[in-house]
Amino acid sequence: MHELEERRWRFYTLFTVIAVFILILIFRLFYLQVIQNSYYSSLAKKEHWREETIPAQRGTIYDTNGHVLATSVGFESLYAITNQIARPEKLARALSPVLGESETEIAAKLATKQNAPTLVKAYLPEEQADAVRKLNLWDVYFQPEFKRMYPEGSIAAQVLGIVGLESQGLTGIEARYNDVLAGKPGSLLAERDATDDEIALSASTYSQPHNGGSITLTIDRYIQKLVEQELEKAVGQYKAAGGTIVVMEPRTGAILAMANRPTIDFNDPNLFAASRTPMYKNAAVSDAWEPGSIFKIITMAAGLDTKAVTPDTSFNNTGSFAYGGGVVRNVITRLGPETMTQTLQRSSNIGAAFASTRMGADAFYRYVEAFGFGQPTGIELQGESPGILRTNKTGNWYPFDLATNAFGQGISVTPIQMVTAVSAAINGGILMKPYVVKEVVTEKERREYHPTVIRQVISPQTSKTLGGMLVSVVELVEGGQVRLAKVPGYHVGGKTGTAEIPTKEGYGSSATIASFVGFGPADDPRFVMLVKIDRPEASPWGETVASPVFRAIAEQLFTYMKVPPARAVTQNQGG
Closest separation between CB of residue 487 and another protein, Å? 12
Closest separation between CB of residue 108 and another protein, Å? 28
| 239, 538 contact by CB (below 8 A) | yes
CB-nearer residue toward another protein: 58 or 281: 58
Distance from C-alpha of 37 to C-alpha of 39, rounded to nearest angstrom: 6
**Is residue 221 within the footprint of another protein (CB under 8 A)?**
yes
C-alpha triplet 559, 561, 567: angle, nearest 5°: 55
* Alpha-helix residue ranges (DSSP H) falling in 283-379: 283-286, 296-305, 340-346, 349-359, 361-370
- Contact with another protein (CB under 8 A): which of 48, 225, 366, 390? 225
**Is residue 131 within the footprint of another protein (CB under 8 A)?**
no
Report the chain's terminal Cα–Cα distance, integer Å.
Answer: 137
- Contact with another protein (CB under 8 A): which of 137, 191, 210, 222? 222
* Alpha-helix residue ranges (DSSP H) falling in 145-247: 157-160, 172-176, 178-182, 221-237
Catalytic (active site) residue 314: no
Distance from C-alpha of 404 to C-alpha of 394, rounded to nearest angstrom: 16
**Is residue 64 within the footprint of another protein (CB under 8 A)?**
no
| Of 1-9, 23-31, 220-228, 268-276: span binding another protein (CB under 8 A) | 220-228
CB-nearer residue toward another protein: 153 or 399: 153
DSSP 564: P
In SS3 terms, 501-526 reads as CCECCECCCCCEEEEEEEEECCCCCC
| Of 98-106, 122-130, 374-382, 418-426: span binding another protein (CB under 8 A) | 122-130
- Contact with another protein (CB under 8 A): which of 86, 201, 273, 332? 201
Closest separation between CB of residue 19 and another protein, Å? 23
Instruction: Using alpha carbons, list the distances in angstroms from residue 527 to 124, 249, 400, 483.
Output: 44, 5, 35, 19
Secondary structure (DSSP) of 407-464: TT-S-BB-HHHHHHHHHHHHTTSEEEPPB-EEEEE-SS-EEE----EEEE-S-HHHHH
| Of 144-152, 171-179, 259-267, 313-321: span binding another protein (CB under 8 A) | 144-152
- Residues 66-105 contacting another protein, CB under 8 A: 67-68, 71, 73-76
CB-nearer residue toward another protein: 182 or 297: 182
Closest separation between CB of residue 348 and another protein, Å? 36
Instruction: Tell me how many residues contact another protein (CB under 8 A).
Output: 33
Closest separation between CB of residue 232 and another protein, Å? 13
| Of 221-229, 257-265, 309-317, 447-455: span binding another protein (CB under 8 A) | 221-229
**Is residue 565 within the footprint of another protein (CB under 8 A)?**
yes
| 517, 529 contact by CB (below 8 A) | yes
CA atoms within 13 A on the CB side of 226: 23
Distance from C-alpha of 546 to C-alpha of 474, rounded to nearest angstrom: 13
- Contact with another protein (CB under 8 A): which of 97, 117, 153, 460? 153
CB-nearer residue toward another protein: 107 or 219: 219
Closest separation between CB of residue 38 and another protein, Å? 27
**Which amino acid is residue 573, in one-letter code?**
Q
**Is residue 564 within the footprint of another protein (CB under 8 A)?**
yes
Q: Please say whether the dihedral angle defined by the alpha carbons of residues 465, 466, 467 and 468, taken in this order, is positive or negative.
A: positive
Catalytic-labelled residue, pool 77, 167, 293, 412: 293
- Contact with another protein (CB under 8 A): which of 149, 170, 271, 561? 149
- Contact with another protein (CB under 8 A): which of 23, 108, 143, 151? 151
- Contact with another protein (CB under 8 A): which of 200, 273, 274, 477? 200
| 167, 55 contact by CB (below 8 A) | yes
| Of 257-265, 370-378, 407-415, 559-567: span binding another protein (CB under 8 A) | 559-567
Closest separation between CB of residue 128 and another protein, Å? 12
CA atoms within 13 A on the CB side of 224: 26
Contact pattern for another protein over residues 510 through 549, marking x by CB under 8 A: ----------------------------------------
Q: What residues are paired with 191 via a beta bridge?
A: 49
Contact pattern for another protein over residues 462 through 491, marking x by CB under 8 A: ---------------------------x--
Closest separation between CB of residue 68 and another protein, Å? 4
Q: Quick one: which H or E segment has residue 8?
A: helix 2-30
Which residues in 24-94 belong to E strands, given as ranges?
49-54, 61-62, 68-81
CB-nearer residue toward another protein: 78 or 129: 129
**Is residue 265 within the footprint of another protein (CB under 8 A)?**
no
- Contact with another protein (CB under 8 A): which of 18, 19, 135, 199? 199
| 109, 143 contact by CB (below 8 A) | no
Distance from C-alpha of 316 to C-alpha of 312, rounded to nearest angstrom: 13
Closest separation between CB of residue 456 and another protein, Å? 36
Closest separation between CB of residue 292 and another protein, Å? 33
**Is residue 568 within the footprint of another protein (CB under 8 A)?**
yes
Secondary structure (DSSP) of 467-508: HHHHHHHHH-EETTEEPTT--TTS--EEEEEEEEPPBTTBS-
Count of Cβ atoms closer than 10 Å to residue 46 Cβ: 9
Report the catalytic residues: 293
Q: Which residue ranges make up the site for another protein (CB under 8 A)?
A: 67-68, 71, 73-76, 125-126, 129, 144, 149, 151-153, 197-201, 221-222, 225, 489, 559, 564-565, 568-570, 573-575
